[in-house]
A and B are shown apart, each in its own frame.
Chain A
Amino acid sequence: MKICCCIKQVPGTTEVKINPETNTLVREGVETQINPFDLYALEEAMRTKEKMAEAGEESTVTVISMGPPQAEDALREAISLGADRAILLSDRAFAGSDTWCTSYVLAKALEKIEPDLVFCGMQAIDGDTGQVGPGIAVHLDMAQTAYVAEVVSIDAKKMVAKRLIEEGYETVELKLPALCTVVKEINEPRTASLRGKMAAKKAEITQWGAAELETPEDKVGLAGSPTQVVKIMTPPCREGGEKFTGETPELVDKLYAELKCLEVV
């Protein structure tokens, strides 16, 4: 079975802070990480490979990332965690891609691989859209489901997945090939093994650009993107208000009075 996982390199979370004096983003260094949800996607890809192996079917896990050249670091990390192969989709022409174009480029790459199963995170913590995964499936015209919290069963033809939605859990059956986006509840990711780390150092990262993917200029990057960011601002920081200390009865009285003001008691 061919299993793919789309991972995105995002800024390390702690860096995205605001400097209250200049009201700008503070970045300590250029630390990056694999988007947290994508680690769960990768782990599920690996677990699926292991499950398939138990059933006697060999599988490969290919990780794909679209981004600037340094996204290679994220792909190496994915190899250290057990992925078999990594592909970086990088090209000047891809810069400025919105979710339409990002899912298009990723879909063009997946088209070449013809996967049976694709895992994505439910959303990226920088863009926070959650649109890329479902978008890829539509570009590829394959079955899909989002917010998967458990893969109940899987074989070469179909999978049963439990998805976490607002009111509870919905179970659906999908014909393969299919794409799932996953939530944190799905598993607990492993950490890199020593062997994985060695493999990551040595791994060859395939690189595909617009030429390899045959993406027309007007369908990628800023030129291909239907949306345009016209303004970015940093909202004022939320400031802490009064902090009360004292004996419990005092605190309770104040807290009660506060709730009364808010008209909830």
Chain B
Amino acid sequence: MSIKVDPTKCNGCTLCVKACPVDAIEVKDKLAVIDLDKCTLCSACVSACRFKAISIEVDKQPAEDLQNYKDVWVFGEQRDGKVAPVVFELINVGRQLADDRSSELSVIILGDNLDEAVADLASYPVDKVYVYEAPELEIYDSERYCRVLTDVMRDYKPEIVLAGATTTGRSFMSGVAIRLYTGLTADCTGLEIGEDGLLHQTRPAYGGNIMATILCPYTRPQMATVRHKVFPTSAKRCEGEAEIIRLTPKPALFGSRSKFVDFVETVGEQGNLVDADIIISGGRGLGGPEGSAPIRELADELGAAVGASRAAVDAGWIPYAHQVGQTGKTVCPKIYIACGISGAVQHQVGLKSSDVIIAINRDPNAPVFDIATHGFVGDIFEVLPALTKKIKALRGAPADSCVIQ
């Protein structure tokens, strides 16, 4: 296995040098030379080269039993018997993938007292719902969940497994993939069956500055966690019904070295950022904890969640759970309204995939305007209260003509 530059194809154009994230390539005498001590075999140069001069060779064969794996499975994450919204998005994309592979779509749900959740799942276009119920599984436990799901995967051999890129999905799916010695692609935003029949998984890396397409060619299942709100929620089924299959719990798998103590819900008033369609965020421009009042009032009026820049969080004005950005959350709402936020790169990476970005900032040169779909140069303490007032006053009034496109 190695990385090679074909000297007959390379003309020393330096595209690869620019693409290399670890600065491992130099052009000497019109030929790209790769420093193998620095190279991480990330393949950025292979994609960047227009002359197909760079190649990475892996001498590896797919496992022999790949054809024994079929169907698409979705992990039906639930809490207190309520299915996580991302699951219905996974059903949507999973249905497409299963149809493309001419196979079936199943959901697996782990927990206890799941009747309502199962009925809910069965009302969507899935072929099967696998139900694994045991009191020990009522509350998520990474060790137990990992062992149980691994065991089910070994028995049923799905070809593709999708889970939400939630705190739950991201942490325990990693363990399942480790145990099965297969690949898990994190936080995917694109999923497609390629002509090769493989699952082509596309995901952002380096804070969304690059998109990487990843395959899992040699082992099964092909596993991915999928970002919230990238795929639309599935429509309910219009015909037929899902087969419900109850799996027999194996208590031998329920050992765990961790114990649940308690759970304190905090989202309530300010909304769950990752599920929100609209987020109104405040930054240092809020000027103090009381500065967030106009944001909260507008958020209430719009049914939006409240977000924050790191500056506002570090100042203690808004709790960390609301921080958007590199060291906070990545969000993809339909509308992101940045109020009194300068738009530093570290903040931008968290919100760049929002459909529409609206920025209100009194500094016309704030970097946030470089990415805002609609920028408003103004004072948030004047604009926001007036806007909220106007929305309240006109609630229910007929639509004006759209002045802005």
Contacts and interface: CB of A to CB of B under 8 A. Distances in A.
Interface of A: 11, 13-14, 16-19, 22, 24-27, 30, 36-37, 68-70, 92, 95-96, 98-100, 103-104, 125-132, 134-135, 137-139, 142-147, 149, 160, 163-175, 178, 181, 183-185, 221-223, 225-235, 238-246, 248-249, 251-262, 264-265
Contact of B372 (A144, A172, A241, A252): A241
A241 B186 contact: no
Contact of A143 (B22, B183, B258, B346): B258
B44 interface: yes
B96 interface: no
Interface of B: 1, 15, 18-23, 36-44, 46-48, 56, 58-60, 79, 142-143, 146, 166-168, 170-175, 177-179, 181-187, 200, 204-219, 256-267, 272, 274-275, 278, 302, 320-321, 323, 326-328, 334-335, 345-346, 352, 356-358, 360, 364, 369-379, 382-383, 386-387, 390-391, 394-395, 399-400, 402-405
B170 A227 contact: no
A27 B40 contact: no
Given A131-B173, A235-B208, 19 more contacts: A25-B44, A25-B209, A68-B22, A69-B37, A104-B178, A129-B187, A135-B175, A164-B320, A168-B265, A184-B320, A185-B320, A229-B212, A231-B212, A232-B19, A232-B213, A238-B371, A240-B372, A242-B404, A245-B377
A174 to B, nearest CB: 5
A236 B10 CA distance: 26
B1 A260 contact: no
Contacts of A170: 260, 262-263
Contact of A251 (B38, B146, B205, B383): B383
Nearest to B142: A144
A37 B15 CA distance: 32
Contacts of A36: 326-327
Contacts of B399: 260
Given A171-B263, A265-B394, A255 B258 contact: no
Contacts of B256: 143
Most chain A beta-carbon contacts within 10 A, residue among B42, B143, B376: B376
Contact of B23 (A27, A163, A264): A27
A245 B19 contact: no
28 contacts: A25-B206, A27-B21, A92-B36, A95-B36, A98-B183, A100-B183, A126-B206, A130-B170, A144-B142, A146-B167, A166-B167, A167-B265, A171-B262, A172-B260, A178-B257, A222-B58, A223-B58, A226-B218, A228-B58, A229-B42, A229-B43, A230-B43, A243-B377, A245-B364, A249-B386, A256-B391, A257-B400, A261-B402
A12 to B, nearest CB: 11
B379 A248 contact: yes
A164 B171 CA distance: 13
A257 B178 contact: no
A184 B405 CA distance: 39
A265 B257 contact: no
A232 B211 contact: yes
A253 B207 CA distance: 35
Nearest to B301: A265
A139 B404 contact: no
B184 to A, nearest CB: 6
A164 B274 CA distance: 13
A264 B279 CA distance: 12
A226 B171 contact: no
Contacts of B143: 143-144
Contacts of A251: 376-378, 383
B390 A171 contact: no
A134 B402 contact: no
B171 A167 contact: no
Given A13-B207, A173-B258, A255-B383, A149 B320 contact: yes
Contacts of A244: 374-377
Given A137-B175, A251-B376, A232 B210 contact: yes
B258 A175 contact: yes
Question: Which 9 A/B pairs are nearest by Cβ-Cβ distance?
Answer: A96-B41, A226-B183, A227-B183, A143-B257, A129-B186, A243-B375, A131-B174, A146-B171, A138-B175
A10 B275 CA distance: 29
A13 B346 contact: yes
Contacts of A127: 186, 205
Given A17-B209, A252-B387, A147 B167 contact: yes
Given A68-B37, A165-B167, A243-B377, A248 B21 contact: no
B402 A260 contact: yes
Contacts of A37: 327
A228 B200 CA distance: 10
A131 B404 contact: no
Contacts of B360: 255
Nearest to A184: B327
Contacts of B258: 143-145, 172-175, 178
A251 B374 CA distance: 11
Given A229-B42, A257-B403, A13 B257 contact: no
A225 B185 CA distance: 12
A166 B166 contact: yes
Contacts of B352: 238
Given A143-B257, A233-B47, A135 B320 contact: no
B47 to A, nearest CB: 4
B365 to A, nearest CB: 10
Given A128-B204, A130-B171, A100 B177 contact: yes
Contacts of B47: 231-233
Nearest to A11: B21
